[in-house]
Chain A
Amino acid sequence: MKRTDTSNPDFYHQVVDCQWGCPAHTDVPEYIRLIAQGRFTDAYMLNRESNVFPGILGRVCDRPCEPACRRGRMDQKPVAICRLKRVAADHRDAIEHLLPVIPERKNGKRIALIGAGCASLAVANDLMPLGYECTVFEALPVPGGLMRSNIPAFRLPVSVLNEEIDYIVDMGVDLRLNHPVESMRALLEEDFDAVFVGSGAPKGKELKLPGREEGAANIHIGITWLESVAFGHVEAIGERVLIIGVGNTAMDCCRSSLRLGARDVKVMARKPRGFFKASDWELEDAEEEQVEIVVNHSPKAFVMEDGRLVGMKFDVMEYDIENGRILEQRAVEEVFFPCDDVVLAIGQENAFPWIERDLGIEFDQWEVPVVDEVTFESTRPGVFFGGDAAFGPKNIIWAVEHGHQAAISIHRHCHERALTERLPVTMNLGSRKMGLHEWSYSNDFDPAARRIMNHVSLQRRFEELTTEVELGFTADQVATEVERCLNCDIQTVFADDLCIECDACLDICPTQCLSIVPNGKEPELVTRLKAPRLEPDQPLFVSDPLVQTARVMVKDENLCVHCGLCAERCPTAAWDMQKSLFHFPRAADHDGSVPCQQRKAG
């Protein structure tokens, strides 16, 4: 094999599993380190730079980082990355003075942003400091989009939401509430230099079964119903509630029902466990609240009696499953579940009835706009899409990243530069060696298990809809949890020409991830490694032929705990522990006239 190209930032970036897994590439290990040092404000600002809404995401993020976490591959649970983010948000000081300065003299470019959700707000967050005038059109009387209307307050307190939205709105955004955009044509005729559509996926999927129309009064569409709950339009629900669907919206619906007076809430799943769309932790929280999850029940009909919904019929399903895939399915019997209300939470779609189809904005066969995956531009120059509006429902953190990228595109568009000529991701490596046996990071491996989040007691949590269930980590929990982080951003950097092949690093490595072996093609080379390669998707480092024997140093990054012992043991400093700092260019970096807002090395 040829020497691994470690100058390509992607190599070391992949080693930082959490950061690689995060759509917005939040520098997780660094912010955890800042939390460990008690620097909550710095940790918050580091987060904010990537994900814009640390307080919100610290509670309700979909956490793609956690399944990616290396700790999870070591017979353990991942680091509670998301909840540590909340720690930074909860304990920070005032940060207003740390936010970018908004120039008083504008650059003369006006941007229309449709929908005041996370995607549009992220765009405004990136463009306002550059002198843009951003106008946000929002149909509802408050900003926040689905973050406000669909995430119940017992998971995301309104104060947290308001605070983080205000940081952006207070930059001078022209926020027009109660102002739905009803015609794209009309908007385009106004004098905007670019339009960003961040209107989300506001349409809940319908379940067309017999009895749907007759029972309409007691059959609710999940996201619409959650919105009504959020705005106080719905304050009660029947005693027995069936939730159809088992995604994260279903979890919010069942838990909200319990707080509105329901006593018996069942989540009806068509498939068995393992096929649920809901995140494991949301399922856990719902089940803790005594919600019953009924598997293998496919809805068949709504049953009416005297003009009133009395229950639903289901087919009990049987599946032939092999390797996690359903090969065959069949209905084996029909059953009846009595209920007073039904909430449909089987998915949502984006919908653009307000975009005329003759504006040059193309839609595909599913009525989804055709959007470039890099530039987020639609087929009409100057019109951009992001968040759920672009590629269908994803999550907040994806929407934020869409916002960052769309902001770059808008910035380039307004300066008549090619959208595709974007700046590359750059990387800086800095040694963490402090002294003979000192490293400026906490490299002791802590075998502690993941801390368990404390919840408000079951007795208390249903009293009020807005009682936040999670209490946040205690100081002790934080102290332990931060040490569980394996510091994957402190890279093992190898200087091939310094190695004398003394094997010291191989012997001291607690996970046997290093090998010095004769070179060869990859399939052959991996058979010679000290420990079998368990995760072929994890990066493999291969050095140049070594000076003395022409063998190569190979590192399987999969299980490295970044303890630094290889570097500590190396007599010639061929191994060094170096912090990788990636810079993901934002809109501000794309303008030569504005200084790069690179953050300081951590």
Chain B
Amino acid sequence: MTFIAKPRVELPNEPVNAIGLRLRDYEGVGSTLCAGCGHDSITAAIIQAFWELSLRPERVIKLSGIGCSSKTPAYFISGAHGFNSVHGRMPSVATGALAANRDLVCIGVSGDGDSLSIGFGQFGHAVRRNLNMLYIIENNGVYGLTKGQFSASADPGSKAKRGEVNQMQCIDAAETAIALGGAFAARSFSGDREQLVPLIKAGISHPGCAVLDVVSPCVTFNDHEGSTKSYAYTREHYAPAVQTDYIPRAEQITAEYEEGQTLPVTMHDGSTLLLRKVDAEYDPTDRSAVLRYLEAHRSRGEVVTGLLFINEDLPEMHEIAGTRQGALTALPFETLNPGSAALAELQRRMR
């Protein structure tokens, strides 16, 4: 927690993005999380990614539920629209917002408690419904706001700060998302900015629900020996399966890559993801193989990271529902609200 505000320092030659904004224009208010919290690193990665994507802040909606993780939307893109919802109910708010205005860029920030316990059902249906959003789970394995009890993502056998051992099984957010039929599931680590930033960009350009499970050490309650979500443990057991390069639409792919080792995925918005396999056997488009791979590595205690699974062709919510193009907010009032006569007619048809 920092009481001193980050000063606004005019720097010589400060770079700007394609729409003339500086990196710090994508910042929010100062973080009130513990010093060294992984969530702050993720916030910085979000700021970096959105700045590099040159997204207009007013086109962005940032939504969250309750928890340490859910405080973080306040810490990035002050110019975006925000909604801090009821515990675990962020996906509902996202559904409503995106239903009304499908042109918005939606980022939901949740935690392991918010999404894997109280909001588990909401999480599942957001994935199933394939809401067009980036769904980040800041996963630290504990309830940081209530003094560090195990959360649903705590690994069995891991130790709490005071020594008790977790005996319950854990919910793996990325595996769950794939099992639920998710179209985009990725895992990363708050301490790996090089991997995290392209994954955030990929998730934003993915037309559907992009679940990004980010191991984010709780520096206060879960960064000790015996923890499986600490900085040191995550680094020791870090096993990237795929590295992702995000190439925006305007840019040519210049890097040379070997067939079989690198998989280019063209996104609907024209950008390209270059998936460089760290493990040659890994195929991020084969759902059952991915699940087998993840389970095998999980049993060895490895933290597999990268863009684990992608199917950019699965239809998202609006496609499934066949709704009109464009935001409902752009419709004239008379069209949106045709009046009581039209309502009566509709009801008559349903009798």
Which of A's residues lie within 8 Å of B, judged by CB?
Answer: 73-76, 437, 443-445, 447, 500-504, 506-508, 510-512, 531-532, 534, 548-549, 559, 561, 563-565, 568-572
Contact = CB atoms under 8 A, between A and B. Distances in A.
Contacts of A565: 2, 4, 6
Contacts of B191: 501-503
A444 B7 contact: yes
B162 interface: no
B95 interface: no
B4 A437 contact: yes
A542 to B, nearest CB: 19
Contact of B2 (A73, A437, A559): A437
Contact of B36 (A76, A532, A549, A571): A571
Interface string B243-284: 000000000000000000000000000000000000000000
A568 to B, nearest CB: 5
B36 A500 contact: yes
A360 to B, nearest CB: 54
A75 B11 CA distance: 7
B interface secondary structure, majority: loop
B4 A564 contact: yes
Given A510-B7, A512-B11, 9 more contacts: A74-B10, A502-B38, A503-B190, A504-B37, A504-B41, A510-B24, A568-B4, A568-B35, A571-B35
Nearest 8 pairs between A and B by C-beta? A571-B36, A445-B7, A507-B44, A502-B36, A437-B3, A503-B41, A571-B35, A571-B219
B175 interface: no
Contacts of A504: 35-37, 40-41
B217 interface: yes
A502 B231 contact: yes
Given A74-B11, A74-B12, A571-B219, A501 B231 contact: yes
Contact of A511 (B11, B13, B193, B232): B11
Interface residues of B, number: 31
A511 B4 CA distance: 15
A75 B1 CA distance: 30
Most buried by B among A73, A443, A507: A507
Interface of B: 1-4, 6-13, 24, 34-38, 40-41, 43-44, 190-191, 193, 217, 219, 223, 231-232, 235
A502 B12 contact: no
A443 B4 contact: yes
A75 B10 contact: yes
16 contacts: A74-B12, A76-B10, A437-B4, A444-B7, A500-B231, A500-B232, A501-B191, A501-B231, A502-B219, A503-B40, A503-B44, A503-B191, A504-B36, A568-B3, A568-B35, A570-B36
Given A568-B4, A571-B34, A534 B12 contact: yes
A563 B37 contact: no
A437 B10 CA distance: 25
A445 B4 CA distance: 10
A97 to B, nearest CB: 40
A570 B35 CA distance: 6
Nearest to B235: A548
Contacts of B40: 503-504, 507-508, 569
Contacts of B6: 508, 510, 563, 565
A7 to B, nearest CB: 27
A447 B11 CA distance: 11
B12 A73 contact: yes
